[in-house]
Amino acid sequence: MRRSAASIALALALALVPGVALASRPVAGCPNASSGYFLVDQQTWWDRTVAGMSAEGIHVYVGDDPANGFTDEFQAFAAGAGFGDAQGLYDYVWVTQWVGIDKNGDLFVCMKDRPHTPGNPAYFFDGVDNTMP
């Protein structure tokens, strides 16, 4: 009986301060739909990057099939952009860029298309973490 009373008291105490006592994770979501942001996972982020590259005339995969490897064109683009080679650019998008945006580490972020202009190629996007304050 004594143990039950202590458990109930602890549960009540924790309920009074959920943010501190339970270290609850913030509610995750994107800014409101009118902002243009939408929820994506890491694969979708990469797929949209590849689609943007293709829209700019830079084909990423031989025969558009990842199993065939990167094109020479993508290798040259990546080297010219300072990534060393295609694998360096791939790693940047999949790791460095992603980790810089996915602050809560849940493997989801909010993506927004940018206006397509000469200074904003189709493979540039805005991204913010999906943890809203």
Residue 95 tokens read as 């790791």
CA atoms of 112 and 44, how far apart (whole Å): 12
**Region 38-42 average pLDDT:** 94
pLDDT digits (tens, 9 = 90+) for 112-131: 999 988 889 999 999 999 98
Question: What tokens does 93 get?
Answer: 């998008």
- Judged against a pLDDT cut of 50, whether residue 4 lies above it is answered with no
pLDDT digits (tens, 9 = 90+) for 71-101: 999 999 999 999 999 999 999 999 999 999 9
Q: Are strands 108-113 and 38-41 parallel, antiparallel or unpaired?
A: antiparallel
Residue type, 129: D
Neighbouring C-alpha atoms within 13 Å toward the C-beta of 70 = 18
The domain spans of the chain are 25-129
Can you tell me the distance from the alpha carbon of 37 to that of 33, in angstroms, rounded to the nearest whole number? Answer: 6
* Confidence bin at 33 (pLDDT 50/70/90): confident
